Structure 1
Amino acid sequence: MEKAPHIFGRSREWDGLAAFAGTPLAATQGGASLGIVSGRRRQGKSFLLQAMAEAVGGLYFAATEATEAESLRLFAEALARHTGQFTGALFRDWNDAIAHLFRSPWNGPTFVAIDEFPFLSKASPALPSIIQRELGPGGSGRTSPVRLVLCGSAMSVMGSLLAGQAPLRGRAGLELVVQPFRYREAARFWGITDPRLAVLVHAVVGGTPAYRYEFTRGDAPSSIEDFDSWVVRNALNPQTPLFREARYLLAEESAIRDPALYHSVLAALAAGNTTNGRIANFIGRRSDQISHPLNVLENCALITREPDMFRPGRSHYRIVEPLITFYEAIMRQRWAELEIHRAQPVWASTRQTFLTQVVGPHLESLCRSFALDEGADLFGEQPSEVGSGVINDPANRTQIEIDVVAFSAQQSNGPRNVVSLGEVKWGEVIGVDHLRRLKKARDLLQAKSYHTENTVLALYGGAGFTDELTALATKDDQVLLVDLERLYS
């Protein structure tokens, strides 16, 4: 099925939905099938589901925050409009509604999408169990051609639908998570061809599609010189939806009951405190007191936990949504000034913080994505894992932080093969000293029995490289220089 022409990107998501919607009856033994679509807000899930429903003649129903009785009435009306068959009486409860949905005289496989499902399950906690029962032996779904999709943005709720002992575990034939656009796709979506400008914009709004038009009224920076003005007139402007969006992203998650604590945790992360202990010190709590908020933020897909590639058992946390990092690092402490439209002086005094505290770490994450995506071409071998790590240097009593670590697949219990070690710099010209640092790290790993014979030493530079390093790299195929043009090519 050809993708709807008004949808940018999302080819894999569209193909997955199309395959699910068109699943032959024989493949499900003549019965209904269930799909789960989730993802953070503003990623275009509803847009995608509506387009699929239109393409296949299916039913799209968007739930609202309402009582069970009102939701049942709205669902009955939507079902009646779509089928042309009026029940004559309202459903008594969701037992009647789901049974009626599956028993309706559909003509072949029929796509039915229920959006904002967490609104329904909050008012009717038994709803997932009802769907599970109707899909099971003896249920109305056993002879139904319905391809039912449940969709929602509350990640803690949607993630629990198929987890552990949840009623719907093992019932879904589709589990689709709609992610933000990746950095190259985001640049194309924003119409940005300057890679430096693309990094700066992505460090503010990431790859969330809604921020391109709905939240900025289609205002994209026209050039690198226009970037500062674009930030002032959009992200720091209290008259735009983007201004309060980071706050709303937390407020929308029902699992977050103490916003002040969670904002403090996120502020610690935005300031570069990425371990449990450093986060606890930053907010004045014990380490064991922040385990729960960290787990909640991770379940809500607002942060991610990344293992240290060289120190098993140790992890670092990172904010997933760039706009939250921007808010915590730039906006939160200057909120009162921003609300009275003092964006210009606030930005002038925080711009350097943005470049060092926001853009620098953000570029590191982009380079890790680049290494994973392009690893086979870059290093001659496709990495199976890419992350960051810290190497102890006992002789000098120091530690060497490696921004991009690429490992090949683990072979039984043997030592790991290091495909690449990488250093990332945004505002600093990279020279031979940076290369020496990577060579030192490689030697330390070799002494620890890692395989480093073919390790590529990669230097990722946002401000370029010295002539000496450039000349050296042309003679050594184990030294790789990656500038912003190559990052976005």
Structure 2
Amino acid sequence: MTVTKPAGMFDREREWQALASFVTDPAAGATLGIVSGRRRQGKTYLLRALCAATGGFYFGADEAADRESLNRLGSTLAEHVGAPAPFTFDSWHAAIDALLALGRERRVPVVIDEFPYLVRANPQLPSIIQNAFAPLRPERDDSRTALLLCGSAMSFMGRLLSGNAPLRGRAGLELVVHTLDHRLAAEFWGVDDPVTALKVNAIVGGTPAYRREFARDDTPAGPDDFDGWVLRTVLSPTSALFREARYLLADEPDMQNISLYHSVLAAIAAGNAHRGGIASYLGRKSGDLAHPLSILEDSGLITREPDAFRDNRTTFRIAEPLMTFYHAVMRPLWSDLEHTRDATRLWQRSQRRFVSNVLGPHFEHVCRGWVRHMAPPELFGDYPNAVGGGVVHDPAAKTSHEVDLVTFGLDDDDRKPLLAIGEAKWGERMGAGHVDRLRRIRTLLDAQGRPGAAQAKLACFGAVGFSDELIEAATHDDSIVLVSAADLYQH
């Protein structure tokens, strides 16, 4: 059976194919799948479209008492099968068996959306589903229901199948619906100019709902309209985008002290990317941050990135661009933004923070992602096996050099030869001095005995371009690689 993706659905080819394959699996017996992802990524749209295309059953849970949720499920299920009156379930055991009964004659998807709401009211529900899917149980073996549990609370959904969780080993699908990458995001927003696309992406990322529902399809008309678009949308108190970053933390049930988590994010957005810097910013001991950093990481709001050259050094990065923009630009001016009639002057005052704390780090992140997943292999001599950043010590100069981009390959001996080191600059034209700095770092790495260092490429990522001298040097030295903003969007 072929399940046709709706014509109006943008991209999501991989997600749709995975779901379609799962719900048309000809194997006998009911199956269980887990679908997760941050809010606003289109999970509900995907699952509703899947049910519509296959005649499946969709139930969206509310924040409600357990009894009310059972009553709603009984009413929704009765309406789906055309029963004359709502079904009455005494427990979730009976309710889950009724959902399994939907698949007695054919493979059919059954979706329970916002599953964490139900578990919050009844923590036994995962165990109930575990027992319902127990081997040799007739209700499961005689059913071909493809039960899909979906949720946006990433920390909760990540634990459903981990460790000793009741559902571990029961699921045949674990699908995470990610944000759109920078290329797809530019296409989705309809932004053709690469520099403008990077600016938009640095604020709203690749979250589909931010264009359709939140900005009401208001997109920058061109480079000259970017500032106007910012003022009309994310900096306008009447826009849904204005308060969105403040609400994101409320979606995570594990975050009890919201103010603490906002402070940790503010510290990272201010440029404190390491545990010690975050602790100093908050006036706390470094050890006190283990729990909040772990919760933020489990929730998908921050990522932990190891130093490419030092195993004991970790960098933290905010994974949600809108959250970075909020803490770097909006939060320091929040009261003024709420009450001003025209935020133009406030936005002008924020340009330095926007460039240094938002655009610069985001540009580095996009460049690393492009190298890892999109760059042609011949550019660096091989497929990148790992891409990150790092710090290289310079004993002679008694200093250290930060490297924005470090690219490793993988040879036949499972070693990771160095393919390239690079620097990414947003607001300045790159010149010969940047390459000289990279050459010095390459010499230091070669002296340290790093495999492949002597032949490593020197990559310059320039959002506003390169000097004529550097362009000329690159034409005569194939170890110099120049990547412009436009190159990041070439397919």
TM interval, short-chain normalised: over 0.9
Q: How does 1:77-92 map to 2 (within 5 A)?
A: 77-85=75-83, 89-92=87-90
Deviations 1:358-406 (A, max 9, x none): 1011000000011012151421200111111111111111111111111
Deviates more, 1:424-433 or 1:138-147: 138-147
Q: Is the 8 A contact 1:136 1:142 kept in 2?
A: no
Q: How does 1:325-336 map to 2 (within 5 A)?
A: 325-336=324-335
Q: Is the 8 A contact 1:375 1:383 kept in 2?
A: no
Q: How does 1:89-238 map to 2 (within 5 A)?
A: 89-104=87-102, 106-139=104-137, 140-238=139-237
Give the Cα–Cα distance (whole angstroms) in 2 for the partners of residues 87 and 419 of structure 1: 67
SS of match in other structure, 2:229? helix
Q: How does 1:35-74 map to 2 (within 5 A)?
A: 35-74=33-72
Deviations 1:431-483 (A, max 9, x none): 11100111111111111111224311110001111111100101111110001
SS of match in other structure, 2:267? helix
Give the Cα–Cα distance (whole angstroms) in 2 for the partners of residues 104 and 174 of structure 1: 20
Give the Cα–Cα distance (whole angstroms) in 2 for the partners of residues 284 and 105 of structure 1: 57
Give the Cα–Cα distance (whole angstroms) in 2 for the partners of residues 189 and 100 of structure 1: 40
Distance 1:189-1:104 versus aligned 2 partners, 3 A rule: closer
Q: Deviation at 1:37?
A: 0.3
| 2:10 match | 8
SS of match in other structure, 1:243? coil
Give the Cα–Cα distance (whole angstroms) in 2 for the partners of residues 277 and 411 of structure 1: 38
Q: Deviation at 1:410?
A: 6.3
Unmatched tracts of structure 1, length 5 or more? none
Give the Cα–Cα distance (whole angstroms) in 1 for the partners of residues 219 and 145 of structure 2: 42
1:380 matched to 2:381: yes
Q: Is the 8 A contact 2:59 2:111 kept in 1?
A: yes
Give the Cα–Cα distance (whole angstroms) in 2 for the partners of residues 358 and 105 of structure 1: 50
Q: Is the 8 A contact 2:234 2:241 kept in 1?
A: yes
Q: Is the 8 A contact 2:462 2:484 kept in 1?
A: yes
Q: Deviation at 1:486?
A: 0.7
Q: Deviation at 1:89?
A: 4.9
| 2:394 match | 393
Q: Deviation at 1:107?
A: 2.5
Distance 1:86-1:126 versus aligned 2 partners, 3 A rule: farther
| 1:354 match | 354
Structure 2: which amino acid aligns with 1:196?
V
Q: Is the 8 A contact 2:111 2:148 kept in 1?
A: yes
Deviations 1:104-148 (A, max 9, x none): 464211111110000111111111111111111243212210000
Give the Cα–Cα distance (whole angstroms) in 1 for the partners of residues 215 and 260 of structure 2: 29
Q: Is the 8 A contact 2:74 2:86 kept in 1?
A: no
Structure 2: which amino acid aligns with 1:277?
G
Structure 1: which amino acid aligns with 2:127?
S
Q: Is the 8 A contact 1:371 1:378 kept in 2?
A: no
Distance 1:320-1:264 versus aligned 2 partners, 3 A rule: same
Structure 2: which amino acid aligns with 1:126?
Q
Structure 2: which amino acid aligns with 1:443?
T
| 2:456 match | 455
Give the Cα–Cα distance (whole angstroms) in 2 for the partners of residues 165 and 86 of structure 1: 42
Give the Cα–Cα distance (whole angstroms) in 1 for the partners of residues 486 and 299 of structure 2: 34
Structure 2: which amino acid aligns with 1:441?
I
Give the Cα–Cα distance (whole angstroms) in 1 for the partners of residues 29 and 87 of structure 2: 26
Give the Cα–Cα distance (whole angstroms) in 2 for the partners of residues 375 and 298 of structure 1: 31
Q: Is the 8 A contact 2:461 2:484 kept in 1?
A: yes
| 1:479 match | 480
Structure 1: which amino acid aligns with 2:433?
D
Structure 2: which amino acid aligns with 1:115?
D
Deviations 1:183-208 (A, max 9, x none): 00000000010000000000110000
| 1:315 match | 314
Distance 1:86-1:175 versus aligned 2 partners, 3 A rule: farther
Deviates more, 1:479-488 or 1:96-105: 96-105
Q: Deviation at 1:86?
A: 5.7
Distance 1:233-1:156 versus aligned 2 partners, 3 A rule: same
1:24 matched to 2:23: no
Structure 2: which amino acid aligns with 1:54?
A
Deviations 1:46-67 (A, max 9, x none): 0000111111111111111111
Question: Structure 2 length as normaliser, TM-score?
Answer: 0.96
Question: Structure 1 length as normaliser, TM-score?
Answer: 0.97
Give the Cα–Cα distance (whole angstroms) in 2 for the partners of residues 171 and 234 of structure 1: 44
Give the Cα–Cα distance (whole angstroms) in 1 for the partners of residues 346 and 404 of structure 2: 30
Q: Is the 8 A contact 1:186 1:202 kept in 2?
A: yes
Deviations 1:226-249 (A, max 9, x none): 111111111111111100000000
Deviates more, 1:48-57 or 1:98-107: 98-107
Give the Cα–Cα distance (whole angstroms) in 1 for the partners of residues 200 and 140 of structure 2: 47
SS of match in other structure, 1:213? helix
Q: Deviation at 1:348?
A: 1.1
Q: Deviation at 1:275?
A: 0.5
Structure 2: which amino acid aligns with 1:396?
A
Q: What is the aligned-residue RMSD (CA, Å)?
A: 1.3
1:34 matched to 2:32: yes
| Aligned residue pairs, count | 484
SS of match in other structure, 2:25? coil
Q: Is the 8 A contact 1:155 1:299 kept in 2?
A: yes
Structure 2: which amino acid aligns with 1:112?
V
Deviates more, 1:84-93 or 1:141-150: 84-93
Q: Is the 8 A contact 1:21 1:147 kept in 2?
A: yes
Deviates more, 1:363-372 or 1:92-101: 92-101
SS of match in other structure, 2:350? helix
SS of match in other structure, 1:437? helix
SS of match in other structure, 2:150? strand
Give the Cα–Cα distance (whole angstroms) in 2 for the partners of residues 263 and 123 of structure 1: 27
Distance 1:264-1:375 versus aligned 2 partners, 3 A rule: farther
Structure 1: which amino acid aligns with 2:447?
A
Structure 2: which amino acid aligns with 1:476?
D
Structure 1: which amino acid aligns with 2:281?
F
Structure 2: which amino acid aligns with 1:81?
E
Unmatched tracts of structure 2, length 5 or more? none
Q: Is the 8 A contact 1:385 1:408 kept in 2?
A: yes
Structure 2: which amino acid aligns with 1:297?
L
Q: Is the 8 A contact 1:390 1:401 kept in 2?
A: yes
